[in-house]
Amino acid sequence: MPTLGAKAPSFTLPSTSGSTVSLADFAGRKVVLYFYPRDNTPGCTRQACDFRDQHTALAKAGAVVLGVSSDSLKSHTGFRAKFDLPFDLLVDEGNRVASAYSAFGEKLMYGKKVKGVIRSTFLIDEQGKLASVWSPVKVDGHVQAVLAALSGSPAAAPTTKATPRKGAVGGAKKASVANRSLAAPKSASAGKVSQRAANAAASTKGRGYRTPTRVKGVKSTRGSVK
C-alpha cells in the first residue's frame, strides 16, 4: 500500500472522455481516484451514484473524481450513460494501475480468499501526493468520509439507528412498551369481585360442602324442581 505523503503512482489510461487521461493532467488540483471491481454490480453502482450525488460538493472542495476498473471502454460508456455519472471512468486493462496502488490482490469474498480488485479510494493532493487512503472501502457513508477529508474535518460515523431526542423515552423502554400485550386492563372493581369469588370457592371446598343433587318430583328446602 502506498505510504501517506508519498508520490502517487503515475498513470495514463483510456477514458470515457474520448481520450487518454493522466494523473499529470491534474497537477495543482485534488484528485479522488477510486478503484472498483466491476460496472453495473450492486455495490459499484451504489458507490458511483453516491459520488454522482455529491459531485457538486466534491467539485466545490476542489476535487476531480476518477473511477477506475478493468472493464472495457464500451462497458464504461454504457455504465456512465445509464446512471448519468458526471465524472470520467478509466480503463485499467490487466489491473496494472490498481496493482501499483495495492488495490488489486488477495481478498475475502463470501468467506473465501480470491484475487481481484480491492475496493479502494485515494485522495491525491495538489502536489500529487497521497493525502488519504481508504482500503478496503465500505460503500455506505464512504463519500461523506471523503468530503470530510477534503474539508479537513473528522468524518462522522454512519448512523444505523435513530438517536432518541432529548427527553424522549429510551430505546429499551420503547421496545418494552411495544412488546407488551394490548389486552384491555382489568378494572379494580372486577379484580375485587374475582378475588371474593375465589375466596368463597376456597372456603366452600374447605368445609367439604356438596351441592344437593336434585331429583325430579322431590321437593327440596330450596324449592321444587319442575
Residues recognised as catalytic: 44
Tell me if 73 sits within 8 A of 14, measured CB to CB: yes
- Amino acid identity of 118? I
Omega of the bond prior to 136 within 30 degrees of 0, cis?
yes
What spatial distance separates the first Cα and last Cα of the chain, rounded to whole Å? 102
> Left, alpha or beta for 111 (phi > 0: left; psi -120 to 50: alpha)?
left
**Dist. CA 167–CA 165, nearest whole Å:** 6
Tell me if 50 sits within 8 A of 143, measured CB to CB: yes
**In the structure grid, which three cell numbers stand for residue 108, read together?**
475475502
**In the structure grid, which three cell numbers stand for residue 179, read together?**
412488546
Helix ranges (DSSP H) in 28-183: 42-53, 55-60, 73-82, 96-100, 142-151, 171-178
